[in-house]
Amino acid sequence: MKKIIVTGGQGFIGSNLVEFLLEKNYFVINIDKSSYSANPYNVKDFKKNKKYIFYKLDINNKNKFSKIIKKHKPDGIFNLAAETHVDRSIDSPYAFLKTNIMGVFNILESLRSFSKINKKVIKLVHVSTDEVYGDIPKHQKVNEDYNYNPSSPYSASKAAADQLLKAYFRTYSSKIVIANACNNYGPRQLPEKFIPKIIFNILKNKSIPLYGKGTNVREWIYVRDNCEALLKIFLKGKIGKNYNIGTGKRVKNLEIVKNIFNIAKKNKIKFSNKNKVKYVKDRPGHDERYAVNSNRIRKELKWRQKTSLTEGLNKTFKWYINNKKFFKLVSKKNINKRFGLKI
């Protein structure tokens, strides 16, 4: 049985990946510092699984992280430990630099130290973002060779980490692969993010905040499909390469809101005059459009997404309806105060 370390495994994508790997009969070691973005509710169903171990640990604690690697000798590591909310990065950039850059450095150094005294090869799949490419012109989509042009402290920290990983591959022959995924959505995502924010506010009879005019275009992938892509990258991805993960489905933010309103109506959710779109001041440096070319992962690794946007949004809405305790366990400051900047 192969052993896998998942960092950030109490978070949104991380917990879904843990679940997916357990289903595929991997032994999973979950490492998470349990910060605001982690939620014990996300992993409650795994605790009694004999193939699952949890360590409460910050990846910036290199000594303890190295000890876990030496103890378990995993076959691979999926790094999802990261600060991810763009608004927060504009308010407080330091935490993003510390975790997203120095945290990756610590993982790389831990693996480099391990490789000096062990013959076993540990493959690191680093989960990055399509935001590293910056604003993409209309009618254009970018492949993995496109120059990075990040617009926010968040995307800059992820871009810096990607470059560090590539440098370690060239200098030390580190066994790394980078996944540049488009916007994920699905179960267990914090309501400070766009789609769960809409759902939460509909269920709580609140207005729906929307940046600018709602014309920003994003590419969306259901989190389960993303997990399948990540496993493909681990199993077959070429060392030192990037793989874009996208669906080709690009939608304006306002259209997402309309789609979720329609789903709510089908689920017989009652509306009031308060359930209106509230346009809020746009954030600085807000990218207008993301669009990735995912031909590499489709052709080389034979990956295809399985879930349409309509199907994924329906699944997501139903999960939140059936897991209202999830909302209760998330502090109000994380739910209600993050759409729109403090500065």
Give the pLDDT mean for 323-332: 76
What the block records as the tokens of 174 is 């580190």
Q: Number of folded domains in the chain?
A: 1
For the stretch 108-140, pLDDT in tens is 999 999 999 998 999 999 999 999 999 999 999
Position 13 in a domain: yes
In a domain, 50, yes or no: yes
List the CATH number of the domain containing 27: 3.40.50.720
Range of the domain at 64: 3-190+220-249+287-306
Specify if 165 maps to a domain: yes
333 assigned to some structural domain: no
Rounded to whole angstroms, the Cα distance separating 29 from 26 reads: 10
Q: Which residues have a catalytic role annotated?
A: 130-131, 154
pLDDT in tens, 62-108: 999 999 999 999 999 999 999 888 988 998 899 999 999 999 999 99
In a domain, 77, yes or no: yes
- Token pair for 14: 């991380």
For 75, counting Cβ atoms within 10 Å of its Cβ (0-12 exposed, 13-18 middle, 19+ buried), the class is middle
Phi-psi region of 237 (alpha: psi -120 to 50; beta: other; left: phi over 0): beta
* pTM recorded for the entire structure: 0.94
